[in-house]
Structure 1
């Protein structure tokens, strides 16, 4: 059964044709769906992920379709890796038009079970990683006087949830960074927006188990999980020139969760 609201034939619109797009966390879930969608739209891709094996397989698959793509393994929480990622993008394609700051982890922990190490690791990946990705991509965009950044936030950045004592605050960082960078970079021609997905059918969510997934699905008025491709469509819109007068927005892609 086709997903309501999805493009039935996934036909490309050409909205980002020949744009150079850097996507972090590209090997799995929403990052992979975004890479696939951007490839179909004719973008030139620079894909990054910590999982070298999956990244190389994805790059080979996309390159096999005649798409210009390169892969750069790395850790978003390491400054040297993010500097190297953006340097590679510029060396390979000459510029950076779009950044999708997607890489992140989703730990499940309440306050009692959360450790300082888990807190620090989550903030390093979900918080510092997004900051570093934006910092070094934006530096290249400012040189060109234009660019679009889309960060991955979450409904957990807006609504309190059980078992999210670490992940939820990290996503507050994502939404806050989006709004502050949008103002900081507006007069330099760089737009910064975010999407806030609800429960999306990804490998990370699958770890919740059947009972856990059923509980969170019941909280979404549309009565189902979202598809990674649906999030990718929202990301595509915000990254494209169709959103040219939108900056500092955090767009829920959540089946109505935050409307309650």
Structure 2
């Protein structure tokens, strides 16, 4: 990244971001790019991923894009292998890829449960597993997982998504302990309602009701979540591991 647009908080650090083409993933990619990271961006959708990679390259960012579904072990292995082949190591993982289905218990199907758990659960596990293996070789690294307020507070219409985010928070805490003596920190952010394309496609009445429950009285911005991710991934958080940081406008403080 050109020196006039990077303050260098993650200067030169090889950062893998899953689900990077839209929403919080894209905002995180752009934020890390401004801070000097070398980026490996992943998404299931090739076209928006290619567009983002092209835009960042035009700004002087060292970046590659690798399309693939994180629910596939082979795809995740390929992401990490190509990251190391291109940049020599992995310093940071942002395990962001996920889906946000709306379903109560009566309407939820087994297929919806399996699909959500495959991406939000298994996909996060696989991303952490194979990125951490590379970090352990170097004796250092930082992982940031994307959890949610739904992992801490019960909500209507979240009979599938909420439990999947419990996986994210639980995985964060257990891996933090498992990897602490290997030099790898593992933390998570728990966003509230954030103004992303995924949220924009949800029921408006339901969104308005949830937004009204945030004491700050608005949806968060993807960039605000990206800022928290950057902090946890950076050396500024060097004595923080196993934390799940709410970025929720005060939702969980009630």
The structure 1 residue matched to 2:246, chosen from 230, 241, 252, is 252
Q: How does 1:112-131 map to 2 (within 5 A)?
A: 112-131=106-125
- Alignment pair present for 1:31 and 2:25: yes
Task: Give the match for residue 129 of structure 2.
Answer: 135
Partner residue of 2:64?
Answer: 70
Output the TM-score relative to the length of structure 2. Answer: 0.98
How big is each residue's C-alpha offset from its partner over 1:120-155, in whole Å with a ceiling of 9 and x where there is no partner?
010000000000000000000000000000000000
5+ long unaligned stretches in structure 1:
1-9
> For 1:36-75, what aligned pairs fall within 5 Å after superposition?
36-75=30-69
Between 1:210-219 and 1:23-32, the stretch displaced more is 210-219
After superposition, the C-alpha distances for 1:197-227 in whole angstroms (9 at most, x for unaligned) are 0000001101124322211110000000000
Q: Which residue of 2 aligns with 1:4?
A: none
1:46 is paired with a residue whose SS is: strand
Q: Give me the CA root mean square deviation.
A: 1.0
Secondary structure of the 1:47 match is: strand
Q: Secondary structure at the match of 1:107?
A: coil
CA deviation profile, 1:157-201 (whole Å, cap 9, x unmatched) = 000000000000000000000000000000000000000000000
> 1:152 and 1:208 mapped to 2: Cα distance?
19
Gaps of 5+ in 2: none
Deviation at 1:12, TM superposition (A): 3.9
Give the one of 182, 205, 213 matched to 2:176.
182
**Matched residue, 2:209:** 215
| TM-score normalised by L of structure 1 | 0.95
Match of 1:21 in 2: 15
